[in-house]
Structures are given as structure tokens and as C-alpha cells.
Amino acid sequence: MNARLARLELRLFWPLIALFVVWTAFTVTGRFQGLDRATLAPWIDPRSPVGQFAEAIALVSNPITLYGAIALYGLWALQRRMRRLASALFLTCLGWPIEVLLAFWSDEPRPPTPFADSVSFVGASYPAGHLVAATALTWVSVTLAHARRRPNASITAVRVAGVVVVCVLFFDQWILRAHWLSDLVGGVLLGAALATGALWLCGADEILHAWATSDLPQESVDKRAAIIYNPIKVVDFDLFRRRVEYALLHAGWKPPLWLETARDDPGQQMARDAVAAEVDLVMVAGGDGTVRVVCSQLAHTGIPVGLLPAGTGNLLARNLGVPLDEDSAIALALTGTPQAIDVVHARTDAGRETFAVMSGMGLDAAIMANTNADLKKVVKGGAYVVAALGQLGNEPFELTLSIDSGEPRRYRALMVLVGNVGQIQAGVQLLPGADPTDGKLDIMLAEPSRIVDWPRIARGFLAGQSVQGLTYLQAETVDIELDEPVPYQFDGDTAEDVTHRFRAAVDPGALLVVLPPKE
């Protein structure tokens, strides 16, 4: 987090918290009693047009409704991989229980009112729940406008509309005599503090920064990026494009080159086009398959890759410490450090392939092949668990394995993994200690003799430890001869055929990837 953002947070969050605490202390100790009584609204007839209209506004703007809108915003952001923003929005919804607890603690009586029987009049008077929710909703609405990289005119319109909504509800609660003036002001302060604090705690620093500045960089850089994206994986392309181009523009980069993958080409030609255009950076947004193909084409080109996670597994990003939040990943691609990692070249009966994560034969490939794509969209990684349960009855296969052209050895296994990195989803380490910069392949053979051995092996996976039934090896090359052909996969993409032979060799430091600076 840079110093400018830290100063911004101090300017927004801590002063709001301090002001709310002081205001609360003055309110509960009766310092504002004179002001509250002097500013008490006139008595109006509940059956008059004004009274009925005011009560209708109070019902429509119930805090539950407003927090529900914030939660829907959070789901919208989460679907578009704005994970930090989504977390901040969900955290903002805690304003409801916080307001209820504060009201219970303060136990401030409401002013005398002809609307005392209204269903919206629940609990003590301080702080004003409608204003807490309305202010928080206004704050996050403006934040979302910034996150969506809307034009300044649109952002200004959202700000004005939000202020109008807060003012209308402020007047509505006042004219209903639902709260004293001090309660209404306290609600505004608490709502603003909650929303700002949620953004800060969840690390949505870039959006906080946009609140304070929308200026263009003082200097431009003579650099251009290419963005290779899978249109199936990018949920909202227009929003994605605005966010990427906004980041590039404010970093002083030239307009980017946009390259869309196709059904019959997951990225090969697009990567070649980026190389031919002599770009300075290739950002890739797609699933593990798209990332694998693009990285294989960019090996030994000297062009760094910026990973923008857009798939279900995002295995290379997870293993290399690239944030899964899209805004953070975009920022890292422009400010991180290009670092060299290994890739692996493999040969099967079908030909040559290159991968950066891991390849699997047997059970691993069968799970990938039998994972329901529609289920994966709903439960993400849980779809792999469902597929795995259906494969537990598979029979092991016989193989001959040699490493670094050494003496062949016989094995009987249900699954063989050859990897450059070792972690999959949920932090499970299939290849403990695998390092994509060590110039070595990590190999694992799973050899359960009975189905009851699987729980013990699963514990070994979860703990990242060697247990009976798991064999780990390291080498620069590995040769595998299979007695019977088995299915195989590269970085989660299952091959359409089976293979009798598998050979893999590490290619040290072949690929540049933009990563966080080493500590």
C-alpha cells in the first residue's frame, strides 16, 4: 500500500470515526437536548397527504431494503471478479446489526410523534437507522460508479442523486418526528464511516484513490500492452475493457491491442500477433487452458505476461501469488516485477505440448474429463469433488518410469502427476515443495491398494505431507511407458485421446511473468 493511499484512508476513515464517537458521546450525555428540542418538526396529521406520503417514503426506504440493495451490489461485483469490492460491500451490510446494537446501548427515547404506531418505528432513536443505511448505500453507489470506470459526468450524477436521496430521507425522518436532529446526523456519520471502513479493511485501495483524484498522469511511457481474453470467461466485457483501459491510461501507457480467443484457437495465434506487434506486456484473461496456450507461445520471447484470473481454477495465478481480485491483478500487471519461471515441454502419442502448472495421467485426467461444465459454473471447484467421487472405483494401471535417463522402474498407480507448481484450489498441495524457478520437475504417483486407502491419501494431500501410497520424485526429465493407454491432461485441459508414452522436460526460466516484488 503506497503512502498516498495511506494518507487518503486517514483523511476519510479515521476522521469520520472520530467525529462519530464525539457526536455519540455528546448525544448520549444530553449535550444536544436544547438543539434537538429547538429543531423538532411541526406536528402533522398522519392522515394528511403530507403525512401519508412521508410515511410511505419511510416504509419504502426501510434499512432492510437498502442493505438488501448493497448485498445485491456485492453479488454483482463478485460475479465480475471484483472480489475486494464485493467483500467491502458485504461487510458494509454489517451496518444493520451495528446500528441495532448501538441503539440498544444508547437507549435514546424517540421524540413524541403522531406516527408512533408505524411499522418503521422500531427500537431506540440513536442512531437513525434509515440514515445509516441510506448514507452507506450512497457511498457504495459512488464507489461502484468509480469501479465501473464511468465518465466523470456519470459519476457526478450518481453523487448528486445520492446526496438528494440522503437529504430526502433526512427530511422525511425529521418531519415524521422519527428521530431527533442529533440522531439523524449521527446516522449519516455512522453510514459514511462504515462504508469507508469496509473499503479500507477489504483493501479496495484503488477505488478509494479514485474518489480523491481523476487526473491523468503527468508523463506518458512509450509502452503498449496486448490483452488476450477468452470471451466465455470474461463475464462483462464492456466493464472489463473500461477497467483495463482506465488503468493503462492512468499509468501513461499507449492504447492497448485487444485480441479475442476463438473456439478453434484458445490463444496461439493471438499470442503470435502480440509478439509480432512488439508489445511490452501481454495480459491474459481466461481459464487455465487459455493461460497455458498463451504462456507456451510467449516462452523465450522476453515479453512478460500479466495474469488476470478469469477461470475457475486460476492455478498459475494462485501458485505465483497473483491476486484473484481483478482490479488488484490489473494493478499488479502494470506495477509488478517481471520474474522468470520454468515451463515444461511434454511429448505424448499425440505430439508436443507445453504447460506451466501440471500434467496428470489416470484418475486426475478422468476427473477433469468428467467434470460437469454447467455444475462448475454454479459451485466452482465443488464440481471437481463431485466428479472425483464418481471415479473412486477406477482400476490402477501399470507403468515404467525413469528420471533423467536413469534406470527404469516399475510402478502400479491410479494417478501420476508431473508438475511445475503444486497447489490447487483450497490451498491443497498436491506437489509439496514444487518451485517454478528451481529448474526441476516434481512428480507424484498415487498408489492406493484399496479404496479404504483414499482417506489416508487425502489427508496427505491436505497436509502437504508424504504418506504411504504416495511417491514423490524430482528430476529434469521424466519418461513414462504405460502398459495400457490412459487419459491425460495439461493444466486442466483433458486430451481427446489416450497415450502409451509420456515424456516431459523442464525448460528453466523460459517465461517472464509479472509478479509481486520478492520480499
What are the DSSP calls for 184-211, one per residue? HHHHHHHHHHHHHHHHHHTT-HHHHHHH
Say yes or no: 317 and 356 in one domain: no
CA dihedral sign of residues 98, 100, 103, 104:
negative
Range of the domain at 303: 225-335
Does pLDDT of 247 surpass 80?
Answer: yes
Say yes or no: 362 and 254 in one domain: no
* Residue 8, pLDDT score: 47
Phi, psi of 106 (to 5 degrees): -70, -35
Average pLDDT over every residue of 402-419: 94
519 belongs to a structural domain: no
User: No. of H helices and E strands in the chain?
Assistant: 19, 14
* Residue 2, pLDDT score: 43
Say yes or no: 385 and 310 in one domain: no
Report the predicted TM-score, pTM, of the whole model to 2 decimal places. Answer: 0.75
Torsion of CA 298, 299, 302, 303, to 10 degrees: 20
515 belongs to a structural domain: no
Does pLDDT of 417 surpass 80?
Answer: yes
Nearest CA-CA partner of 185 in 13, 11, 22: 22
Say yes or no: 311 and 278 in one domain: yes
User: Is the pLDDT higher at 366 or at 222?
Assistant: 222
Does pLDDT of 374 surpass 80?
Answer: no
User: Is the pLDDT higher at 424 or at 477?
Assistant: 477
The domain boundary, picked from 177, 212, 247, lies at: 212
* Residue 433, pLDDT score: 86
180 belongs to a structural domain: yes
Say yes or no: 249 and 182 in one domain: no
Does pLDDT of 154 surpass 90?
Answer: no
pLDDT mean across residues, the chain: 87
Burial of 119 (0-12, 13-18, 19+ CB in 10 A): exposed
* Residue 98, pLDDT score: 94
291 belongs to a structural domain: yes
Say yes or no: 405 and 295 in one domain: no
* Residue 364, pLDDT score: 74
Residue 387: pLDDT band with limits 50, 70, 90: very low
User: Is the pLDDT higher at 14 or at 37?
Assistant: 37
Contact 441, 504 (CB under 8 A): yes
Does pLDDT of 458 surpass 50?
Answer: yes
Least reliable range by pLDDT among 67-81, 188-202, 389-403: 389-403
* Residue 464, pLDDT score: 59
Say yes or no: 278 and 161 in one domain: no
Does pLDDT of 211 surpass 60?
Answer: no
Residue 221: pLDDT band with limits 50, 70, 90: confident
Residue 1: pLDDT band with limits 50, 70, 90: very low
> Domain tally for the chain?
3
343 belongs to a structural domain: no
pLDDT tens digit sequence for 297-338: 999 999 999 999 998 889 999 999 999 999 899 999 999 999
* Residue 317, pLDDT score: 96
- Kindly state the percentage of the chain with pLDDT values over 90: 63
The domain boundary, picked from 306, 335, 364, lies at: 335
380 belongs to a structural domain: yes
Say yes or no: 201 and 242 in one domain: no
Least reliable range by pLDDT among 135-139, 176-180, 490-494: 490-494
Residue 460: pLDDT band with limits 50, 70, 90: low
**Taking the CA atoms of the chain, what radius of gyration do you get in angstroms?**
29
Residue 459: pLDDT band with limits 50, 70, 90: low
Q: Give, to the nearest 10 degrees, the angle between helix 326-335 and helix 205-212.
A: 80
* Residue 469, pLDDT score: 74
* Residue 5, pLDDT score: 42
CATH number assigned to the domain comprising residue 230 = 3.40.50.10330
Does pLDDT of 234 surpass 80?
Answer: yes
pLDDT tens digit sequence for 256-272: 999 999 999 999 999 99
Say yes or no: 150 and 198 in one domain: yes
Does pLDDT of 23 surpass 70?
Answer: yes
Residues 315 and 506: their CA atoms lie apart, in Å, by 18
Phi, psi of 293 (to 5 degrees): -65, -45
- Kindly state the percentage of the chain with pLDDT values over 70: 85
* Residue 209, pLDDT score: 54
Least reliable range by pLDDT among 150-159, 221-230, 257-266, 406-415: 150-159
Say yes or no: 95 and 127 in one domain: yes
* Residue 99, pLDDT score: 93
Return the half-sphere exposure (C-beta side, CA atoms, 13 A cut-off) of residue 71. 10
Say yes or no: 417 and 294 in one domain: no
Q: Specify whether the backbone of 412 is left (phi greater than 0), alpha (psi in -120 to 50) or beta.
A: beta
* Residue 344, pLDDT score: 98
* Residue 509, pLDDT score: 97
Say yes or no: 110 and 252 in one domain: no
> What Cα–Cα distance (Å) separates residue 420 from each residue in 307, 345, 352, 472?
17, 11, 17, 13
518 belongs to a structural domain: no
pLDDT tens digit sequence for 157-181: 999 999 999 999 999 999 999 999 9
CA dihedral sign of residues 237, 242, 247, 253:
positive
Grid cell in block for residue 108: 435514546
The domain boundary, picked from 164, 186, 212, lies at: 212
* Residue 123, pLDDT score: 83
* Residue 116, pLDDT score: 86
Least reliable range by pLDDT among 84-98, 215-229, 466-480, 489-503: 215-229
Residue 6: pLDDT band with limits 50, 70, 90: very low
Residues 269 and 186: their CA atoms lie apart, in Å, by 59
Nearest CA-CA partner of 243 in 89, 81, 91, 78: 81
Q: What does the DSSP 8-state code read for residue 127?
A: S
